[in-house]
Amino acid sequence: MPEYVKVAVTDDIPPNQGKLVEVQGKKIALFNLEGRYYAIDNTCTHRGGPLSEGELEGDEVTCPWHGAKFKVTSGEVLSPPAPQGVQSFPIRVAGNDLEVEI
């Protein structure tokens, strides 16, 4: 059964930045879009690039390896070379804690 797991605190992720967290064997990219937080799978579906290290512009992150773009609010792929989107995870803020549903 899915459960929410604390993965970070809000101060860990500056506005318009990403951060990698690992929880229960999954690598998850957390993003702070002007105080709203989102969580997607960290691994690009093209060649496995780390999305948490990508450039964030608005609600889009660009894979640092080959330039595929993903929507951080949903995990949807927006441009090649990635063939498909990545998983999006429900996230909630509890006080200053960021919790992801795993």
pLDDT band at 2 (very low <50, low <70, confident <90, very high): confident
Tens of pLDDT along 40-93? 999 999 999 999 999 999 999 999 999 999 999 999 999 999 999 999 999 999
Structure tokens at 17: 């930045």
* pLDDT given at position 14: 96
pTM (2 decimals)?
0.95
With vertex at residue 20, the alpha carbon angle to CA 17 and CA 24, rounded to the nearest 5 degrees, is 145
Tens of pLDDT along 27-40? 999 999 999 999 99
CATH numbers and ranges of domains, the chain: 4-101 (2.102.10.10)
Parallel, antiparallel or unpaired: strands 36-41 and 88-89: antiparallel
